[in-house]
């Protein structure tokens, strides 16, 4: 008999009911078959389990979690489709305990990254149906198409030749920039949808948190960065993200929360990038507290919203801790500078700006909230933002949001004083 369990604490739901239904259907089938065969004198061949499911083991049983963990870890890391547990003689009633150990293995063994967190149980009777034990478990794995797509993305980003931290950033950005959050799938809550898997990221470009986390887990492990899947809740809602290991230390990375909603092409956040337990614990709760993340070396990145990478390697971003003040900073967190803007002959030391994007020549475009959400530009080689006033907009394009560069054009949405979109536009880059 096979029962199924899926990863708890994520977007998936209904797993306990699924297991109970599977057991009930199994029993109902046996009972029906027994009635049909009774007239043929064959009912004595059927040994029907008790209606409540596998009975408790008549003698005391002590689960050896170390032995079970070792067996599961070895099987998962080898990619075994069926992991033999018969030697442990685990009672069929211990499925929850087995799954708890299974989840612990996934949370602490990066080499098990190919497993999607699902587990089926094969039970066997050792005494004519009176007692059942778990013969083996069958994990669910990522399809080969996902592994192949991950390898292509690693090659496209050049992550394999980058430093470990830069590998994490490159692949985090690749997931964020290639994926939009699938609000409709999240509301539907159907775990069978592609959005609930890494395939949603690689094949559809749309996913919910589980898809983001699975994809990043696969990418980073295949790029040589030890990574594990983390499940729990964020802001009170079931959620998933990953933990990565750099120089022997663990950090949280939440690509879902770093992806702007609605999707804004070319922009990413680092608000949940390489965080420690204390920082992410403000709105995230993990199901399992291991491994511990105690290093805050990368705290300088947690203020970076609408971030873009400049040709010289620096970042330009909207500072989430300083009311959106536009800044630049070095790739190692040094040399932070505020960007001033100029209007009607007057220079202002700081700018509140959002929706940053950068052209191939290094010019920065943004919506300046210090000046009516007017589009400003800092040309390559210059230090001050000035009004971007293309043909047809002599005084600049005001009340603009969601800036993005498409080909050789700057596209944007226009909004009213309440932030509602009233139209859109597209103009050649200056």
> How many residues make up the chain in this entry?
430
Residue 289, pLDDT score: 87
- pLDDT the model gives residue 88: 94
Q: Are 179 and 205 in contact (CB under 8 A)?
A: yes
**Whole-number Å distance between alpha carbons of 5 and 138:** 10
Span 240-262, average pLDDT: 95
pLDDT of residue 266: 77
**pLDDT at residue 8 greater than cutoff 50:** no
Confidence of residue 418 (pLDDT cuts 50, 70, 90): confident
Secondary structure of residue 350 in the 3-state scheme: coil
pLDDT exceeds cutoff 80 at 65: yes
Among 7-11, 266-270, 331-335, where is mean pLDDT lowest? 7-11
- String of DSSP letters for 36-85: HHHTTT-GGG--PPPTTSSPPPSS-----HHHHHHHHHHHHHTT-SSEE-
* 219 Cβ contact list (under 8 Å, min separation 6): 150, 153, 154, 159, 171, 174, 175
Phi and psi angles of residue 415, each rounded to the nearest 5 degrees, phi first? -135, 160
Show the domains of the chain with their CATH numbers. Answer: 2-141 (no CATH), 144-297 (3.10.620.30), 309-428 (no CATH)
Mean pLDDT over each residue of the chain, to the nearest integer: 86
pLDDT higher than 70, residue 52: no
Q: What is the mean pLDDT of residues 368-389?
A: 96
Q: What is the pLDDT of residue 244?
A: 98
142 has pLDDT over 80: yes
The pLDDT of residue 353 is 97
Per-residue pLDDT band at 59 (split at 50, 70, 90): low
Residue 41, pLDDT above cutoff 60: no
Encode 247-290 in three state secondary structure: CCEEEEECCCCCCCCCCCCCCECCCCEEECHHHHCCCEEECCCC
Q: In terms of pLDDT, which residue wins out, 117 or 350?
A: 350
């Amino acid at each position: 008999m096979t029962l199924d369990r899926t990863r708890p604490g994520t977007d998936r739901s209904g797993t306990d009911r699924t297991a109970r239904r599977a057991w009930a259907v199994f029993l109902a089938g046996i009972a029906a078959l027994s009635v049909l065969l009774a007239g043929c004198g064959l009912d004595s061949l059927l040994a029907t389990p008790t209606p409540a499911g596998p009975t408790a083991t008549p003698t005391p049983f002590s689960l050896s979690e170390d032995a079970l963990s070792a067996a599961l870890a070895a099987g998962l890391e080898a990619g075994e489709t069926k992991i033999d547990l018969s030697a442990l003689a685990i009672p069929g009633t211990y499925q929850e305990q087995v799954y708890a150990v299974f989840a612990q293995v996934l949370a602490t063994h990066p080499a098990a990254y190919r497993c999607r967190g699902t587990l089926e149980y094969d039970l066997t009777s050792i005494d004519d149906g009176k007692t059942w034990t778990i013969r083996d478990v069958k994990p669910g794995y990522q399809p080969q198409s996902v592994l192949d797509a991950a390898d292509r993305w690693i090659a496209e980003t050049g992550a394999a030749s980058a430093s470990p931290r830069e590998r994490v950033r490159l692949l985090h950005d690749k997931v964020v920039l290639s994926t939009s959050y699938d609000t409709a799938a999240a509301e539907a809550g159907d775990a069978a949808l592609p959005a609930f898997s890494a395939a949603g990221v690689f094949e559809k470009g749309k996913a919910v948190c589980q898809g983001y986390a699975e994809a990043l887990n696969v990418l980073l492990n295949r790029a040589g960065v030890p990574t594990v899947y983390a499940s729990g809740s964020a802001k009170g809602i079931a959620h998933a993200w990953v933990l990565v290991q750099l120089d022997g230390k663990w950090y949280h990375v939440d690509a879902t929360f770093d992806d702007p909603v609605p999707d804004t092409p070319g922009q990413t956040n680092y608000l949940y990038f390489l965080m420690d337990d204390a920082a992410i614990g403000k709105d995230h709760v993990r199901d399992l507290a291991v491994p511990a993340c105690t290093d805050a070396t990368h705290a300088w990145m947690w203020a970076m919203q609408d971030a873009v990478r400049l040709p010289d390697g620096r970042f330009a971003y909207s500072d989430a801790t300083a009311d959106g003040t536009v800044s630049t900073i070095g790739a190692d967190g040094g040399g932070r500078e505020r960007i001033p803007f100029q209007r009607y002959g007057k220079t202002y030391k700081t700018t509140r700006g959002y929706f940053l994007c950068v052209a191939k020549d290094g010019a920065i475009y943004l919506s300046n909230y210090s000046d009516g959400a007017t589009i400003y530009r800092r040309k390559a080689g210059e230090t001050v933002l000035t009004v971007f006033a293309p043909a047809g907009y002599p005084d600049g394009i005001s009340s603009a949001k969601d800036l993005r560069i498409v080909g050789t054009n700057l596209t944007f949405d226009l909004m009213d004083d309440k932030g509602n979109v009233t139209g859109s536009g597209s103009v050649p880059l200056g």
